[in-house]
Structure 1
C-alpha cells in the first residue's frame, strides 16, 4: 500500500446504555466532516444494538492516508470528544474490500 492508495473502512459502533440516539446524533455531526477531507460515507446502517450487536455500522472511503489523517485531526471533530466519550462505549475500525 502506498500513501496514494484509496482506503476503504468499516466502522462498528456500540453506544453506552441509553445513548443510542446520542451516538447517532454525534455521528451525524462528525460524518458531515468526511467530505471536507475528500472522503465519502458509502453506507450507514443502524441496528437496535440487541444481543451485543453494534448500534451503527458505517462504510466509508478516503482517497489516501493523508485525507483520513486530516479528517481524524479535524479541529471540529476533536472538539466533540466529550460528546463521543459520553455516547460511544466501543468502536471497531478496520480496512475492507468491497465486492
Structure 2
C-alpha cells in the first residue's frame, strides 16, 4: 500500500540554502526505495511558516523505512542538523481536484 507524506521543513536562521542543498541530496535517494517527490515548494518562511513543503510518495511503508535507514542519508545527519531547525511529517491522502460548477444561467 502506498504511503504519502507531507513534509514541512524550517531552516535554521541563515541556512535556507543549506536546507535546499541537503534536501537535494537526500531526495535523490528516494527512487532506490520506491519513493518519489510529488511536489516540492518553497516559501519565504514569513510569520513562522515552513521554508519548504514536500509531498512525497512511497510504494510501501517498507520503502519509507528503508529510506529512513539508508546509511547515505543517516551519514548526513550533521549537515541536516546544521541546516534544519524543525521538521514535521504528516501522512496524507491525495484528493481529486473538484471542478467548480458553472453559475446557473438566468433564463427569461
2:89 is the alignment partner of 1:68:
no
For residue 48 of structure 1, the aligned residue among 18, 28, 44 is: 44
For the aligned residue pairs, the C-alpha RMSD in angstroms reads 0.5
TM-score by length of 2: 0.86
After the TM superposition, list the runs of 4 or more consecutive aligned residues in structure 1 that deviate by more than 2 angstroms.
none
CA deviations on 1:14-44 (whole Å, 9 max, x unpaired) are 0010001100110000000001111111000
The corresponding residue for 1:88 is 84
Q: What is the TM-score when the length of structure 1 is the normalising length?
A: 0.94
Bigger-Rg structure (1/2): 2
The count of residues paired between Structure 1 and Structure 2 equals: 95
Equivalent position SS for 2:22: helix
Q: Which structure 2 segments of 5+ residues have no match?
A: 96-108
